[in-house]
Structure formats: structure tokens, C-alpha cells
Structure 1
Amino acid sequence: MLAYRHAFHAGNHADVLKHLVLARVLRYMAAKDKPFRYIDTHAGAGGYQLKGAQALKNAEHRDGISRLYGRARLPEMLADYVNLVREFNIASDASLDAETQAAQRADKGYTPPLSLYPGSPSIARALLRPGDSMRLFELHPADVRTLAAHFDGQRGVQILHEDGFAGLKGQVPPQPRRAVVLIDPSYELVSDYGKTVASLREAVGRFAEGVYMVWYPIVRRVEAVQLPKRLAGLAPKGWLHVRLTVKDVDPQGFGLTGSGLFILNPPWTLHQELAAVLPTVVELLAQFEGAQFEIEEQPA
């Protein structure tokens, strides 16, 4: 949907869950010598100005990354994610030369002001190695221009001004046969739920070994409630489903109360790692007494 701009929501609680898990999955993949591909069906702009007009309209980051940024003694998995945001802010400071940026990254006691938030492609770029590759789909003309400028012809990165639902088919199986696929549409159109299932079904049929991550919003919509069950039917080799609820519905009974991730072929360590870190995430991001997380898993 071309009216949707993620800049209005950058760094919110949903981004925290999505990028916390994405970073861990990518680190798991990078622990093996064999190259892999990262495929993002709805890549967005790659990075967002938290002090820009769009982000400040609702300032959703204040109840997301801003509650974590700069905190000491976070659990290792959460600290790793926050450090990626820290390093993105350092690397994006055009006033600093490369030597100063390297010194600031090395100084773990230094935390720059939080003015920028990395999108999923930037989280991935920070963790991929030489030899790994990226395929980034984005339909919005302004965001795809920003994405292209952000990556500026970097080796191994292809930016595709195409529909990611349709384009995923042509990206799997990759060579070599290792990949992480992130599917995270806005779901502002109800049809996105069906397109997510259809696109994933076709991709899994072509490449069952891939790690597929599907993000979805926790909202009072029947399609959102049914989505995890529909995705479970597509998993030939096991799945993990995590949900994070941090706020109550609005007075009319609506609103984004949290989000979920459904992962096909998850790393075998992920359930235990999430169970250890999510109590802290709930504690820091909770906006009402009913804040909670849930993890379900069906092993391969």
C-alpha cells in the first residue's frame, strides 16, 4: 500500500520485537562458514529520522527503542540489538571521519544521541559478512529512492522496485541454498494477510530449507487472529511463534496492542533465548498491567 510509510512508526515496540529476533536469527546464520542470502519483501527506507516530522507525529519510538537505548546491564541478546542501533547512529553521522567512527564504536561506554533508527535492511547489513547477499523489495517510490541512496551500490545488495509478495518467488531457492526471508507488510489492506500466506506457501514449496520470518500486528481483526494457524500449516520442518503484548486497546476497543513473529525453520536455540530475554522486554516496554509475552514451538 503506497499510502503507508513506516517512518511514522519507526522504533516502536513492534520494531523492537522484530529486530531483536531478526538480529539473533542472522547471527545464528552467520555462525556457519557457508554464505547465505537475506531477502526482505517490504524493506522500507532502510533508516529513519526519529526527529523528523513523520516520526514525531506520534513519537512511537518513545515507548519502544527509547526505553532501552543507553541502559546498562541489559541481557546479552537485548544489549546486542541496542548496540546495533547505537552503531547505526554513529555510522550515520556524516560529520565524523572513519577513524572517529571506529573509535566511537570501540568505546562501549560511548552512546550517541538517539536520532536515527535502522530499518530491517540496515540491521541485516550490519550482520552480514562478505560473501553474503541481500535482496530488498520496496514499492513506495520515495522509500525505494532512500533505500538506494542508503546502500549506494554496495556489493551483494540488490534493490528491487517491485511487489515483494510476487517477487519472492523468483528469489528462492538461492545459491547456495541458505536464506533468511522477512515478510512484514503493513497489513493496512486486509488482502495482505492472504497475500502473506500465498507468497509463503509458494516460497516454501520451492525452498523448504529457508528460515522464514513473518511479522504481524496484534489487532482486533479476525485475519490477524487466524494468521498464525494458517502459517503453521505451511511449516514442513517446525516453527516458532512469539507474541509480545505491551498496551491495552483504546477506548473504542481497537489499536495496535503488540505484535507477533511466526518463524518457519527457527534456530534451535531461539526458544530458550527468547524465554530468557522477553521478561526484561516486557518489564521495560509495558504500558499496562496486562503486558505479557507468549512463545509456542513445534519442533521439526
Structure 2
Amino acid sequence: MFSYRHAFHAGNHADVLKHVVLLATLRHLMHKEAGLTLIDTHAGAGLYRLDSDFTDKGDEARDGIVKLMGALRPASGQPAASAAAVDDYLDLIAGFNPSGQLRVYPGSPFVVHSTLRAASRDRLRLYELHPTDSRTLSANIAQLEAGRTVSVHREDGFAALRPLLPPPPGPGGSRRAMVLIDPSYEIKSDYHKVSACIQESLKRFPTGCYLVWYPVIPRPEAHDLPRRLRTLANQSQRPWLHATLAIGQDPSHGPDDRPGLTASGMFVINPPYTLKAQLQEALPVLLNMLGRGRGQGQTLESAG
């Protein structure tokens, strides 16, 4: 049950897509003065060393953030053409690596925390069930000295989300929340849990902003999930956006090599109205920088 460790995959192409979308969404949500309840249902350890034993085993960051940073923030020479959302994301990563050496990768909890506003009533709720990652997450968050602004819970994020919605009203009476759902999907039941969680959440709090990450793999449940999410959003008459990024097969791998994860998607319900235009600009940049072989591509759909 606890075999999945995000440290093996930190900074890969799926993280790049997820965090570009997450950061662009957060930037827009922070424009309104009213406080936000921010919930990460599967928070992981929060921070990752790109030179650790975990990341060295998979070396997935090499085809993700390392490749992207090398092309768009080269130590010397002219950087390639970029996009505003990608530049903002790279600025964030660079802030965690002040020496200029890419050694630390911030997971979603730290991406979200970086956008919290001083003297605001934003609250970040982090859930992680893996015992080791939960302890590491707590230790990493403790270094922020964020007080009650950020809380860490060793709980099942699916179950924990229900009593949090609708969120408590802010000083002006408004209720605002953003929820990120990105389980490992190593267990097939995760796909059903995600759709059931979104269905329940839309009933309890239909105006919340919900972000779902999922792997694009040859499994029926993986292909059905975005279709199910689209149906749920349409039934609730809520706008949605669906983005995918496929970097393609590694041309250095032989026909018998396992390809690993080559594509992933982000499905956003109640997306900021600015997000589509930002991704129309950002996705081609990511594909141009990270695409590596047969099967590469990107898609962007939306409604509402």
C-alpha cells in the first residue's frame, strides 16, 4: 500500500505540467482580496533533493525540470523562447536554488505556500498518508514557521476533504477554496476515488476550483477518468479545462525497455478565465523543450 514515493519522480515532466498549471491558477486566485482555503489531498514530502539516492535511481528530473531549466535558463548563451507561465514557474524553482545549481525541487505544498499572502486569511491544509513522507512533510513545513497558516495531517486525503467543504466564510462572507488531487494511481481504485471525490465535492461546494492530475497510461481507468470528470463538470454546469503533455518515447531505449511514464494530464474544474490563454502559450513551449521522440504531443480542451 505504501510503495509509492514521489521522491523517485520529483521534477519529472509530469511535475512540470502539474506545477505550471497549479502556479498559474494560484496567481489568478490571489488577485481577489478574500482569503482562500487551499487543500492538497496527497501532499508527499513537500521538498525533494534532486541529487538524492531516490532521484538518482529514476533520474526522471533529467527529462523534466533539468532539461527545461537548461534550455530556458542556460548558464551561458541565448535562452530559447518561452511563455509567461513557464517563466513564472522557472522563477519559482530558481528561488529554491539560490546557488544556481539545481539541487532542490519544491513539491506542490511548497509551490502553494510560495503564493500565500502575508497578513491574509489564506490557509493551507496538507494531507499525506505515507508514514515516512508524512513525517518528512511535517519537518519541512516546520522550517517555514508558518504557524496555523499551514497544517499537516497524516490522513487519507480523500476522506479528509469531505468535512472541509464548503470552506468557512471569510470576513466578507465569501467562501473560496482550491483543491489539488494527485494520488499515485498505483492502486486502480484511486481512479474511482478521484471521480467519486469530485462528484461529492461539486455537490457540497460547486464553486470551488478543483485540480486533478492523472497519468496517461495504457489502462482503461486512466482513459476513462478525464471523460468521467468532464461528465461531472457538465452535469454540474461548471466550466472545465483539460490539458495533456506527452514527451514521447526515449529514442535511446530499445523495444524491450519499459518506457516509464511518458504523458500526463491536468483536469481543472472552475478554472480561472485566464488559464486557457496561458496554457495555449505554455504547452507548445513545454513540448518543444521536453519532447523527445515518437508519441510526443499536447492537447488543450475547455468548456464553459
TM-score, reference length from structure 1? 0.89
Q: In structure 2, which of residues 193, 196, 199 is the aligned counterpart of residue 198 of structure 1?
A: 196
Moved more, 65-74 or 31-40: 65-74
The residue matched to 1:68 in structure 2 has which SS?
helix
Root-mean-square deviation (CA, aligned residues, Å) is: 1.5
Pairing 1:258–2:263 present: yes
Aligned to 2:129: 139
Aligned to 2:67: 67
User: Matched residues in 2 for 1:175 and 1:80: separation?
Assistant: 30
Aligned to 2:146: 154
Q: In structure 1, which of residues 169, 185, 189 is the aligned counterpart of residue 162 of structure 2?
A: 169
Over the matched positions of the two proteins, sequence identity in percent amounts to 47
Aligned to 1:243: 244
| Contact 1:88/1:116 (<8 A) preserved | yes
Aligned to 1:97: none
Q: Which runs of 4+ in 1 moved over 3 A?
A: 249-255
Aligned residues: 279
Q: In structure 2, which of residues 86, 95, 101 is the aligned counterpart of residue 87 of structure 1?
A: 95
* TM superposition shift of 1:247: 1.5
1:176-231 deviation line (CA, Å, top 9, x unaligned):
31111000000001010001111111111110010000000010000000101111
User: Matched residues in 1 for 2:181 and 2:21: separation?
Assistant: 13
| Contact 1:219/1:255 (<8 A) preserved | no
1:105-149 deviation line (CA, Å, top 9, x unaligned):
xxxxxx610001000000000011132110000001111111111
Aligned to 2:56: 56
Aligned to 1:28: 28
User: Matched residues in 2 for 1:184 and 1:195: separation?
Assistant: 11
Change (3 A) 1:209 1:5: same
Pairing 1:112–2:100 present: yes
Pairing 1:281–2:283 present: no
Letter in 2 for 1:121: P
* TM superposition shift of 1:254: 6.0
Letter in 2 for 1:224: A
User: Matched residues in 2 for 1:133 and 1:87: separation?
Assistant: 22
- What are structure 1's unaligned runs of at least 5 residues? 91-110
* TM superposition shift of 1:40: 0.4
Aligned to 1:218: 216
User: Matched residues in 2 for 1:254 and 1:142: separation?
Assistant: 28
- What are structure 2's unaligned runs of at least 5 residues? 170-174
| Contact 2:84/2:278 (<8 A) preserved | no
* TM superposition shift of 1:268: 0.8
User: Matched residues in 2 for 1:172 and 1:212: separation?
Assistant: 12
